[in-house]
């Protein structure tokens, strides 16, 4: 084999080696393979009633808008400012990006956030909330929506955190039973100042009509065992 052939042979060999090596090199992750975005409640970086650094009675309108613009799960194009005249206040409404299915509203009065709420498919049940925040001080039982005899709405109150969680449960009972189930799906989180929520709960205990009566926390009740259709 002459020098020219040797040169061509070694070039060919180098190409083969490079191809084999390239097969062992890890492929960089696709730029679209993102780390899962934070959960709108569980990954909150501050303690309630602060929500992603928006705090009732402290955060200003401009600060709240800036936070919404920067949140990874908020569609910045969905943020809308609405003005109300009586009383004068500002509503900041927002919707989440895909694949989230939540939306929310921030109510501003006198230039400062008064309260806010987040609602939608949050992927949580009441048991998750009690595990994370402890037993609530009180809860309220009401109908739906939709208003049916088996669709119940719970609101559990955490004055310490200025928080009220709303959940729904399909179960046969009456409003006066005061039963509460761990499996109820969380639908909404409302936040206001701890002082305001404490005052609200104090007013609501023992008040009438019964729709507004609050119950002290007694733990979860077991779901009723379904009766076989053939039994009488």
| pLDDT tens figures, 65-118 | 999 999 999 999 999 999 998 788 999 999 999 888 899 999 999 999 999 999
The number of beta carbons lying within 10 Å of the beta carbon of residue 163 is 22
What is the mean pLDDT of the segment spanning 217-231? 72
Domains of the chain, residue spans: 40-116, 122-217
Listed as own residue / partner, the contacts of 45-54 with beta carbons closer than 8 Å and 24 or more positions apart are 47/161, 48/133, 48/158, 48/161, 48/162, 48/163, 48/191, 49/161, 49/162, 49/163, 49/191, 49/192, 49/193, 49/194, 51/116, 51/118, 51/189, 51/191, 54/106, 54/113, 54/116
Q: For residue 206, what pLDDT is reported?
A: 59
CB 95 within 8 A of CB 165: no
- pLDDT band at 14; cut points 50, 70, 90: low
Question: Is residue 189 scored above 80 in pLDDT?
Answer: yes
Q: How confident is the model at residue 123 (pLDDT cuts 50, 70, 90)?
A: very high
Looking up tokens 């109510």 gives: 107
Task: Give the tokens for residue 172.
Answer: 């046969």
User: What does the pLDDT average to over 162-183?
Assistant: 82
The C-alpha atoms of residue 95 and residue 79 are separated, in whole angstroms, by: 7
SS3 24: coil
pLDDT above 90 (res 127): yes
């Amino acid at each position: 084999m002459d020098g020219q052939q040797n040169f061509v042979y070694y070039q060919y060999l180098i190409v083969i080696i490079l191809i084999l090596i390239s097969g062992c090199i890890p492929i960089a992750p696709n730029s679209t393979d993102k780390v899962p975005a934070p959960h709108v409640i569980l990954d909150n970086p501050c303690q309630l009633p602060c929500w992603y650094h928006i705090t009732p009675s402290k955060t200003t309108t401009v600060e709240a808008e800036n936070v919404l613009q920067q949140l990874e799960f908020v569609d910045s194009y969905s943020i809308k400012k609405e003005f109300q005249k009586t009383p004068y206040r500002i509503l900041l409404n927002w919707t989440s990006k895909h694949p989230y299915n939540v939306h929310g509203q921030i109510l501003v009065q006198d230039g400062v956030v008064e309260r806010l709420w987040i609602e939608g498919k949050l992927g949580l049940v009441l048991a998750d909330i009690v595990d994370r925040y402890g037993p609530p001080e009180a809860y309220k039982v009401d109908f739906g929506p939709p208003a049916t005899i088996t669709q119940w709405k719970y609101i559990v109150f955490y004055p310490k955190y200025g928080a009220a969680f709303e959940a729904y449960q399909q179960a046969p009972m009456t409003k006066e039973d005061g039963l509460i189930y761990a499996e109820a799906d969380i639908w909404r989180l409302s936040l206001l100042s701890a002082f305001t929520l404490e005052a609200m709960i104090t007013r609501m205990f023992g008040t009438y009509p019964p729709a507004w009566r609050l119950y002290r926390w007694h733990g979860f009740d077991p779901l009723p065992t379904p009766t076989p259709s053939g039994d009488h």
